[in-house]
Structure 1
Amino acid sequence: MKIYISADMEGVTGLVDAEDVQPPGRDYERGRVLMTEDVNAAVCGAYAAGATAVMVNDAHGPMRNLLPDLLDPRATLIKGRPKPMGMMEGLTPEYDAVLCVGFHARAGVLGVLSHSFMGHEIEDIWLDDEATGEIGLFHAASTAYGVPVALLTGDDTACAEMKAWDPTVATVAVKYAKDRFAAQLVPVAQAQSTIETTATESLRALPGLTADAPATRTLAVRWQSASVASHLTAIPGVTRRDDRTVTVEGEMLHLYRLFNLYLRVATAITSNAPYC
């Protein structure tokens, strides 16, 4: 059994603020340790369930957050950027399941460090007219590969967002949102123990894939900057719904790859820091 882990940081045990998850934040280095420990808990759970190989993709920000010397040596790590498929780089149909560690809720939702990919630069995302964020897009693309998402860890808001997309996915709430930068924390040892045991349980009872999605899907993104939307229309097939919203149709994996190109274009055009 081959398992793929996508590791974000905002939903990691104990982290609540940009200082915890962004270099050179005063608590970022401690955040890296906690992120690595959450991933290690998932790796241990995967092997307890019978995994024969585990691939981990560092999916947060600079994508150089996980500490290789502290990472469970049974896991292989993908580190750095840019990556054509971003948060799901390295995932292929040969994997049996995905574990999403440290994920967060979408922009506009009152969750810990909630946003969609680019802080305040992306205001809204819709997939087939359904509001989504990183969780929904990742789930849709993983499903398009034919690989089920078995587990998601994060705050309670992120867990609820995942359940709304697919109630068969097991979730672990490692903190409970009080506001965007405040949470009631689950004790670290308890949270990581629960990640490990839930990973094992979810992989021993892998969910079946949800109903087949349509072959062609529609992705719409509303940007804070009309300039970003204007530049993106240079990409064939991308049109503007209004000054700040672009739409495109296509197969889901193509849309996910294209969206990662959107992010690189937007980064080149803007200098807005996230979480403002």
Structure 2
Amino acid sequence: MRVYISADMEGVTGLVDAEDVQPHGRDYERGRRLMAEDVNAAVRGALAVGAVDITVNDAHGPMRNLLPEAVHPAARLVRGRPKQMGMLEGLVPEHDAMVCVGYHSRAGAPGVLSHSFMGHEIEDMWLDGRPVGEIGLAHATAAAVGVPVVVLTGDDCACAEMAEWDASVRTVAVKYARDRFAAVLRPADEARTAIEEAVAAGLSAPAVPRVPDPGPSTLTVRWQSTSVATTLLGLPGVTSTDSRTVRAEGALPGLYRQFGVWMRVAASLTNQPPYC
């Protein structure tokens, strides 16, 4: 069994603030250790049911959060950037299942550290007219590759967002949002036991067949800055719906990769902190 784990940070056990998840934040070093512990719980769950190939992709921010020596030795770590597929780098059709660890809710939605990819620089996103964030776009892209998402961990709002996309995905709430930077925390040992058990159960359940869909999708993004939207119009296939909103059509996962180019363009034009 081949298992792919995409590991974000905002939805990790115990973390609630930008200082927990940003390099140079006063609690970042502690945060990255807690991230590794959630990831390792997922790895243990996969190993418990016979996984023989486990890939972990560090999918948060600089993508150098997980210390290699802190990750379970049974897993291979994808670390650093740029990555052509960003949060899904290394996901291939040969994977039997995908697990999302430490995910968070989309921009504008309730939830701890809620945002979509770039802090407040991205105000809204839609996939085929449906509001989407990192959870929905990761799920849709994995489905297009032919890999089922079986487990997601994060706060209760992230879990609810995943349930809206696919109610068959097991979710583990490791904290319960009280505001964007506040939560009731589940005891760490209890949360990690729940992660391990959910991954084992999710990988043991009969897989839902995923037939890759080569059909086109439409991705629409509203940016905080008109400069970003205007610059993106220089890319082939990008059109605008208003001064801050652009869209493009294409088949996933190619459209996901194209969105990564949009974010690199946006990063070159802005200097905004991610949580404001």
Query: TM-score normalised to the size of structure 1?
Result: 0.98
- TM-superposed CA distance for 1:184, in Å, is 0.3
| Rounded Cα–Cα distance in structure 2 between residues aligned with 1:36 and 1:196 | 13
Partner of 2:67: 67
- The answer (yes or no) to whether the contact 1:169–1:207 under 8 Å persists in 2 is no
Gaps in structure 1 of 5+ consecutive residues: none
The one-character-per-residue Cα deviations of 1:197-253 (angstroms, maximum 9, x if unpaired) are: 110000000441468757011100000001100000111000011000001111011
| Rounded Cα–Cα distance in structure 1 between residues aligned with 2:126 and 2:179 | 24
1:33-48 to 2 correspondences below 5 Å: 33-48=33-48
Which residue identity is paired with 1:274? Answer: P
- The answer (yes or no) to whether the contact 1:127–1:218 under 8 Å persists in 2 is yes
The one-character-per-residue Cα deviations of 1:172-211 (angstroms, maximum 9, x if unpaired) are: 0000000000000000000001100110000000441468
Partner of 1:103: 103
2:189 is equivalent to residue 189 of structure 1: yes
- TM-superposed CA distance for 1:67, in Å, is 1.5
Which residue identity is paired with 1:168? Answer: S
Could you tell me the percent identity over the aligned residues? 63
Partner of 1:241: 241
Partner of 1:50: 50
Which residue identity is paired with 2:86? Answer: G
Matched residues, number: 276
Moved more, 250-259 or 212-221: 212-221
- The answer (yes or no) to whether the contact 2:123–2:222 under 8 Å persists in 1 is yes
Partner of 2:156: 156
1:125-164 to 2 correspondences below 5 Å: 125-164=125-164
- The answer (yes or no) to whether the contact 1:56–1:76 under 8 Å persists in 2 is yes
| Rounded Cα–Cα distance in structure 2 between residues aligned with 1:231 and 1:3 | 38
Which residue identity is paired with 1:72? Answer: H
1:199-214 to 2 correspondences below 5 Å: 199-209=199-209
| Rounded Cα–Cα distance in structure 1 between residues aligned with 2:206 and 2:52 | 16
| Rounded Cα–Cα distance in structure 1 between residues aligned with 2:3 and 2:112 | 27
- The answer (yes or no) to whether the contact 2:146–2:210 under 8 Å persists in 1 is no
Partner of 2:171: 171
| Rounded Cα–Cα distance in structure 1 between residues aligned with 2:188 and 2:161 | 23
RMSD: 1.1
3-state DSSP of counterpart to 2:6: strand
| Rounded Cα–Cα distance in structure 2 between residues aligned with 1:271 and 1:237 | 26
Moved more, 213-222 or 19-28: 213-222
Query: TM-score normalised to the size of structure 2?
Result: 0.98
Gaps in structure 2 of 5+ consecutive residues: none
Partner of 1:85: 85
- TM-superposed CA distance for 1:50, in Å, is 1.1
The one-character-per-residue Cα deviations of 1:141-187 (angstroms, maximum 9, x if unpaired) are: 00000000010000000000001000010000000000000000000
| Rounded Cα–Cα distance in structure 2 between residues aligned with 1:250 and 1:148 | 21
List 4+ stretches of structure 1 deviating above 4 A: 209-214
Which residue identity is paired with 1:30? Answer: R
- The answer (yes or no) to whether the contact 1:143–1:209 under 8 Å persists in 2 is no
